[in-house]
Amino acid sequence: MGNIDELISKLAQDTATVKRAPHPFMLSIEWMVVAAFYLAVSLMISNARHDLLLKLHDPWFAAEIAALAGIFISTSLSAALLSYPDLYQKRRIAFAPIVTFALFVLVIFLAWQADNPPAPLPAHSFECTISITLVALLPAAWTFYVMRKFASTHTHWAGGIAFLFAFSIGALWLRLYEQNDSIVHVIEWHYLPMLGFGIIGMWLGKKVLKW
């Protein structure tokens, strides 16, 4: 009985302050700012495509970039919410990437339909997937590191969305850098691998984000 009283006394005297977790919206903004800086530095190192300003006047290219940016924003917010055990009571917002991905697929489909006659395929193929993955590795690792500090109860979804967030950064970088107008190539080697990247993220989320 004495030991229990002593333990209670020690616990009562423990006045260590617990740092309040940031609001998921602020966490998401922080991730997006750092990711945008990382993207800008990557483009400074690689240089943007020389006709970028002209291409941004192409409505389908501009729509594709805007749709990719929508995925970037929605997955950042979703990953932040999924880091919390109760999704911060914002379940609908947490699954917003479903809507942005649907819009993205629609934009890519319409861009493919409008690509007539088709733009010539570039000489390379899987190199694009490798490049996107390499650029995405650092933000993926950093996002997982931050998410480990929280207590996600949706580790599969959290890991998958975090990887899609990182992949969107790499995909944006390559579309702004690569001199390529073939939508067929972009679908096959830029965006279809995104599905595999998300599945890998779900598997890693179960392994790394559990507590």
What does the domain layout of the chain look like in residue ranges? 53-208
pLDDT grade for 2, boundaries at 50, 70 and 90: low
CA distances from residue 186 to 22, 106, 124, 142 in whole angstroms, order as listed? 37, 14, 11, 27
pLDDT tens for each residue of 49-94? 999 999 999 999 999 999 999 999 999 999 999 999 888 888 888 9
| pLDDT of amino acid 87 | 86
Residue 56: what pLDDT?
A: 93
> Can you give the pLDDT at residue 182?
92
- The string of pLDDT tens digits covering residues 144-180 is 999 998 888 899 999 999 999 999 999 999 999 999 8
Residue 87 CB contacts under 8 Å (≥ 6 apart), including other chains: 81, 94, 154
Average pLDDT, the chain: 90
For residues 136 and 166, is the Cβ–Cβ distance under 8 A? yes
Q: What is the pTM of this model?
A: 0.87
